[in-house]
Structure 1
Amino acid sequence: MQTGQKLPDVTFRTRIRDEAVGGTNPFRWQDMTTADYFAGKRVVLFSLPGAFTPTCSTYQLPGFEKNIEDFRAHGIDEIYCMSVNDSFVMNQWAKAQGIENVKVIPDGSGEFTRRVGMLVRKDNLGFGLRSWRYAAIINNGVVEAWFEEPGICDNHGEDPYGESSPENLLKYLAEASKEVAA
């Protein structure tokens, strides 16, 4: 993806809590589209190789969660975390991490990730197809800024992290604010 490109139209299979379902597992399926998530909003989207993995759980997701007010101060309406994991996994990961502000998006089939050019093989780790680590500022469904970790390739031996960090995105937003004010 590049600055100025529109996000692909994809439908995501999500599970949402609905007390009307009843029972011990009151969740139902709800399809959400790219437009549902991104239309009419300025958001941060970050994607990572997998829920419950070390870098994602220790730094990236908690970093975006704890900096929510700083992002809002720069005009960000929502922060979304995406991974090539199903809705069950993403929801349980958010719950286990105590996430209240960042919303998770399950890209279980990897369709969105493939269409933005970030789907890679991680067979060397036993993961199969997963997302390369990236982040973006999305304004009304269009890429405003793109932050991709270097070295994208299948079965990469390392897990680069820095370009897509919350700190790097906040630095970009602060600089962009200065330019607008000048």
Structure 2
Amino acid sequence: MLDKQVPDVTLKTRVRDESLDGPNPFRWQDIRIHEAFAGKKVVVFSLPGAFTPTCSNEQCPAFERLYEDFRAAGVDEVYCIAVNDAFVMYQWGKNLGLKKVKLLPDGSGHFTRRMGMLINKDHLGFGLRSWRYAMVVEDNHVTAWFEEPGINDTGEDEDPYGETAPEKVLEALQAGRV
């Protein structure tokens, strides 16, 4: 994955718009990944889904907690991408109290598929989701890659977590390995 260019896809997000009346003052806003990452050093981590145990209790809160350390290591932004829609990602971020990590909804899985990380989690009733990975991206090119080990011998993934922990990504940045 190193030096691979990230996919140039457009993600559908919702943003608050105070000019709108009513109980749902949000409008659709497209985010083009190449525009969002252009000229920046970003950390992107992907996980199987919003509101799932490891993602909600460990991985996403840990990236939020270490956000300022990432900034001190030269990172412009930290993004979490998941194969969930904008409504789910918004409510999940609100539920977690996220203020710093930016959530990117890959509702159709276009980004995840083009990264080669879309997997089938039908055995859990999830459908197509992302394998757990993290990367450092500089000006739309992957400069560091972290991925959880693969599928077990029964053919089902165990959803491991460790290689993509924010501490490992931060350690690589601080050691100058990125």
TM-score, length basis structure 1:
0.93
Between Structure 1 and Structure 2, the one with more helix by share is: 1
Q: Which structure 2 residues correspond to residues 43-122 of structure 1 after superposition, within 5 A?
A: 43-122=42-121
Q: Which amino acid aligns with 2:170?
A: L
1:14 pairs with 2:13: yes
1:167 pairs with 2:167: yes
Q: Distance in 2 between matches of 1:156 and 1:142?
A: 31
Identity %: 60
Deviation at 1:22, TM superposition (A): 1.4
SS at match of 1:90: helix
Q: Distance in 2 between matches of 1:11 and 1:55?
A: 27
SS at match of 1:21: coil
Q: Distance in 1 between matches of 2:118 and 2:20?
A: 35
Whether the aligned pair in 1 keeps the contact of 2:150 and 2:157 (CA below 8 Å) is: no
1:25 pairs with 2:37: no
Deviations 1:54-109 (Å, cap 9, x if unpaired)?
00001100000000111011000100000000000001000000000000000000
Q: Distance in 2 between matches of 1:169 and 1:37?
A: 21
- Structure 2 residue ranges without an equivalent (≥5): none
Whether the aligned pair in 2 keeps the contact of 1:42 and 1:138 (CA below 8 Å) is: yes
Deviations 1:33-70 (Å, cap 9, x if unpaired)?
11232111100000000000000001100000000111
Q: Distance in 2 between matches of 1:40 and 1:157?
A: 35
Q: Distance in 2 between matches of 1:55 and 1:155?
A: 21
SS at match of 1:45: strand
Q: Which amino acid aligns with 1:9?
A: D
Q: Which amino acid aligns with 1:3?
A: L
- Structure 1 residue ranges without an equivalent (≥5): none
Q: Distance in 2 between matches of 1:119 and 1:141?
A: 20
Whether the aligned pair in 2 keeps the contact of 1:132 and 1:152 (CA below 8 Å) is: no
Whether the aligned pair in 2 keeps the contact of 1:133 and 1:148 (CA below 8 Å) is: yes
Q: Who is 1:129 aligned against? A: 128
Q: Who is 1:146 aligned against? A: 145
Regions of 4+ moved over 6 Å? none
Q: Distance in 2 between matches of 1:104 and 1:152?
A: 26
Whether the aligned pair in 2 keeps the contact of 1:81 and 1:104 (CA below 8 Å) is: yes
Q: Which amino acid aligns with 1:134?
A: Y
Q: Against the structure 1 CA distance between its residues 128 and 155, is the aligned structure 2 distance closer, same or farther, given a 3 Å change threshold?
A: farther
Q: Which amino acid aligns with 1:84?
A: V
Alignment RMSD (CA, Å): 1.6
